[in-house]
């Protein structure tokens, strides 16, 4: 499932490839996930130009040069592909199975297309009045973004301390506290900070809070730089998988040796999600 770095990768590339382009057509083979409905969506987007691409948590928001914005959630397997008349038959688009589940297509006036491939079909697109984007319940419910410069050490400690009797592993995934730390990056951040996911928050020292926040930001920034982690279906707009997988220390490395100390990496289930850790490097 795409997390903050993967969504940021998409948003950055949308900024480079489609911002400034005029939409002349929109097609959908899965209108159930086009809101408020196909007719209204088409009427709102056709003839409009995209003027910006932004990320709110894991939501993608593309503002148009009219009163509307397009809000997109990739959910489990959704991803955008950008094709030109020259590249559309490239093997990356035609032979990579993951890039072949095209359910929605925007066509631009220069004949390039932005296509949404989504094997599981949970991803959605919505046309929303510009001013209403920040009032969407899903966006309102988000805590501070993990990469926001406003997220300071003090704020981080205060936010987590509100859950002080809980263990840290599941709390890092609470998007209403801090938005953007998903399953992959919480395991990686806890490893870098040397903290076991089963540690109670009240047992985390001030120095460790500082280390943990630094680890969270470091791992997310590095993943953004490498265009995310492909753990199955994620592809960027060029159809390419993310390159962060090689940099992973613990995520999905059960029974493999720790890259720092050689101890065998372990996996545990916490609140229905797998968490990965090194029993030696983390305490
Ligand atoms: Zn280790």
CA distance linking residue 218 with residue 211, whole number of Å: 10
- Span from the CA of 277 to the centroid of ligand 1 (angstroms): 8
pLDDT band at 42, cuts 50/70/90? very high
Dihedral Cα 61, 51, 83, 105, nearest 10 deg: 60
> Would you state the pLDDT for residue 26?
98
Catalytic residues: 2-3, 58, 273
Please give the share of the chain, as a percent, with pLDDT higher than 90.
Answer: 93
Which 8-state DSSP code applies to residue 174? -
CA distance linking residue 107 with residue 46, whole number of Å: 9
Q: What is the mean pLDDT of the chain?
A: 96
CA distance linking residue 62 with residue 55, whole number of Å: 9
Q: What is the mean predicted confidence (pLDDT) over 101-122?
A: 97
Please tell me the pTM assigned to this model.
0.92
- Span from the CA of 263 to the centroid of ligand 1 (angstroms): 5
> Would you state the pLDDT for residue 231?
76
Could you give the domains of the chain?
A: 4-140 (3.20.190.10), 144-277 (1.10.8.50)
Q: Which residue, among 130, 123, 115, 104, has the nearest Cα to 42 in the 3D structure?
A: 104
Q: What is the mean predicted confidence (pLDDT) over 87-116?
A: 97
- Span from the CA of 266 to the centroid of ligand 1 (angstroms): 10
pLDDT band at 229, cuts 50/70/90? confident
Please give the share of the chain, as a percent, with pLDDT higher than 70.
Answer: 100
pLDDT at 61 over 90: yes
Q: What is the mean predicted confidence (pLDDT) over 185-207?
A: 97
> Would you state the pLDDT for residue 163?
96
């Amino acid at each position: 499932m795409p997390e903050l770095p993967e969504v940021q990768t998409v948003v950055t590339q949308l900024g480079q490839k489609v911002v400034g382009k005029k939409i002349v057509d929109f097609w959908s083979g899965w209108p159930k996930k086009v809101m408020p409905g196909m007719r209204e969506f088409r009427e709102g987007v056709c003839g409009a130009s995209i003027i910006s691409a932004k990320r709110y948590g894991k939501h993608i928001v593309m503002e148009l040069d009219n009163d509307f914005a397009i809000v997109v959630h990739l959910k489990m397997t959704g991803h955008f592909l950008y094709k030109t008349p020259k590249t559309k038959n490239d093997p990356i688009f035609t032979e990579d199975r993951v890039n072949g589940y095209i359910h929605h297509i925007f066509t631009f006036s220069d004949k390039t297309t932005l296509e949404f491939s989504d094997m599981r079909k949970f991803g959605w697109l919505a046309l929303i009045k510009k001013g209403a984007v920040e009032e969407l319940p899903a966006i309102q419910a988000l805590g501070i973004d993990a990469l926001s410069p406003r997220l300071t050490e003090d704020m981080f400690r205060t936010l987590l301390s509100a859950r002080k009797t809980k263990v840290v592993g599941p709390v890092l995934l609470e998007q209403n506290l801090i938005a953007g730390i998903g399953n992959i990056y919480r395991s990686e951040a806890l490893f870098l900070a040397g903290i076991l996911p089963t540690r109670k928050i009240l047992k985390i020292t001030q120095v460790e809070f500082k280390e943990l926040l630094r680890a969270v930001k470091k791992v997310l920034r590095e993943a953004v730089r490498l265009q995310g982690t492909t753990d199955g279906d994620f592809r960027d707009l060029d159809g390419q998988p993310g390159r962060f997988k090689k940099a992973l220390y613990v995520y999905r490395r059960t029974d493999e040796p720790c890259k720092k100390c050689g101890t065998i990496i372990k996996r545990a289930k916490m609140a229905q999600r797998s968490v990965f850790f090194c029993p030696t490097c983390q305490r």
